Structure 1
């Protein structure tokens, strides 16, 4: 999904409206799934960098994703300790783009591009709405 930004110089007839992928919670306002995916991807990379505690993601990740991220964060810390050149291998991760595909009302898949100081990474996730809350059931970080 792409977004266009209307500027003051454009004629009003060419302005486009913002397209979103809304998620409808029970009795709540629309939530843009892209914002949820963006924040979870940012938080997951901060966990790998060691700048955010994994426990902050406990409600947003299912148990399998949580354990997998915990294991990968431990391996990343162990590798960084061995190389000694860079104690924090994932410095300043910044989300550059988010694309969401709605599978059903309760399931979405997202692809996220994250830029770090030395490289760009891809993050893919499947989000499922359980009891009105979006939870990641599959998380892949490249």
Structure 2
């Protein structure tokens, strides 16, 4: 699965304003959306690796994203069982970078680069703030 993203260059002063708005939220006391995106991406890849139960993400993902991740994790487990035969030790994926773009006060999009044992992966997500809590409404894992 390939994703492409085209962006236009903006002046530095506008960039810093956008990043502050996306990170701090309305009153500045909200949890940094970059930290939320980072932890959800890490957890989602751990679900796919089989080291974390998917139900731990039930509050962070909307129902469509949750069901999609659950289905993909099941397919990944079946494929791994057929190709490996025996369980191999697994090291946790490491988040290398997080970029956040504020769409509005309550909507952000994030792109995350995650390094695994033998490759790097891209994760893209759309986060929406519902009742003061960030929830993922779109999730793509490359």
TM-score range, shorter chain: 0.7 to 0.9
Greater fraction of residues in strand: 1
| Per-residue Cα deviation, 1:79-103 (whole angstroms, up to 9, x for no partner) | 0000016636974200000000000
What TM-score do you get using the length of structure 1 for normalisation?
0.80
Instruction: State the 4+ residue runs in structure 1 displaced beyond 4 angstroms.
Output: none
Residues 126 and 88 (structure 1), Cα distance of their counterparts in 2 relative to 1, 3 Å cut: farther
Q: Which runs of 5+ in 1 are unaligned?
A: 1-18
Aligned residue for 1:125, secondary structure, equals strand
How many residue pairs get aligned? The number is 122
1:102 and 1:108 in contact (8 A); partners too? yes
Aligned residue number for residue 44 of structure 2: 44
Give me the CA root mean square deviation: 1.9
1:80 and 1:88 in contact (8 A); partners too? no
Which protein has the larger Cα radius of gyration, Structure 1 or Structure 2? 1
How far apart are the structure 1 equivalents of 2:67 and 2:88? 21
Aligned residue number for residue 135 of structure 2: 135
Matches within 5 A, 1:28-39: 29-39=29-39
Q: Which has the higher contact order (CA 8 A, sep 6+)?
A: 2
